[in-house]
Amino acid sequence: MARLRLGYHVSISGGVDRAVDRAVELGCDTFQIFTRNPRSWRSRLLTDEEVTAFKAKRAEAGLDPVVGHMPYILNLASPQDGVYGRSVGSLAVGLERCSVLGIRFLVTHLGSHLGSGAEAGVRRVVGALDRVLGDDGSDVVVLLENGAGSVNGVGSRFEELGRILDGVGRPGRVGVCLDTCHAFVAGYDLRTPERLGETLDAFDSSVGFDRLFVVHLNDSVGALGSGRDHHEHIGLGEIGLDGFRAIVGSRLAGFPLILETPLDERRGEGEDLGVVRGLVGL
Domain count, the chain: 1
Establish whether 69 is a catalytic residue.
yes
DSSP at 251: G
Establish whether 188 is a catalytic residue.
no
Give the global pTM.
Answer: 0.97
Establish whether 231 is a catalytic residue.
yes
Q: What residues contact residue 62 under an 8 Å CB cut-off, 6+ apart?
A: none
Kindly state the average pLDDT of the residues 223-238.
98
* 217 — pLDDT class (breaks 50, 70, 90): very high
Nearest CA among 204, 205, 279 for reference residue 243: 279
Within a domain: 59: yes
Whether the per-residue pLDDT at 2 is higher than 70: the answer is no
Whether the per-residue pLDDT at 40 is higher than 90: the answer is no
Establish whether 232 is a catalytic residue.
no
CATH number at residue 74: 3.20.20.150
Kindly state the average pLDDT of the residues 214-221.
98
pLDDT tens by residue, 64-108: 999 999 999 999 999 999 999 999 999 999 999 999 999 999 999
pLDDT for the residue 39: 83
User: Which residue in 58, 231, 233, 238 is the catalytic one?
Assistant: 231
Establish whether 182 is a catalytic residue.
yes
Kindly state the average pLDDT of the residues 17-37.
96
Establish whether 238 is a catalytic residue.
no
Range of the domain at 259: 6-279
Within a domain: 42: yes
User: Which residue in 216, 219, 233, 238 is the catalytic one?
Assistant: 216
Kindly state the average pLDDT of the residues 116-126.
98
Establish whether 9 is a catalytic residue.
no
Establish whether 145 is a catalytic residue.
yes
Whether the per-residue pLDDT at 43 is higher than 90: the answer is no
User: Which residue in 17, 160, 219, 229 is the catalytic one?
Assistant: 229
Within a domain: 206: yes
Whether the per-residue pLDDT at 1 is higher than 60: the answer is no
DSSP at 174: E
* 42 — pLDDT class (breaks 50, 70, 90): confident
* 269 — pLDDT class (breaks 50, 70, 90): confident
User: Which residue in 17, 145, 160, 238 is the catalytic one?
Assistant: 145
pLDDT for the residue 149: 97
Kindly state the average pLDDT of the residues 177-190.
98
The total of other beta-carbon atoms located within 10 Å of residue 198's CB is: 14
Query: Any idea which of 42-51, 120-129, 168-177, 208-217 has the lowest mean pLDDT?
Result: 42-51
* 122 — pLDDT class (breaks 50, 70, 90): very high
Establish whether 229 is a catalytic residue.
yes
pLDDT for the residue 44: 87
- CA 61 vs. chain centroid, Å, equals 22
Within a domain: 68: yes
pLDDT for the residue 32: 98
Kindly state the average pLDDT of the residues 45-52.
95
Within a domain: 23: yes
Tell me the β-bridge partners of 141.
105
Rounded-to-integer distance, Cα 146 and Cα 55, Å? 29
User: Which residue in 182, 191, 211, 233 is the catalytic one?
Assistant: 182
User: Which residue in 5, 97, 109, 211 is the catalytic one?
Assistant: 109
Establish whether 8 is a catalytic residue.
no
Within a domain: 1: no
Within a domain: 228: yes
Establish whether 179 is a catalytic residue.
yes
User: Which residue in 179, 232, 238, 272 is the catalytic one?
Assistant: 179
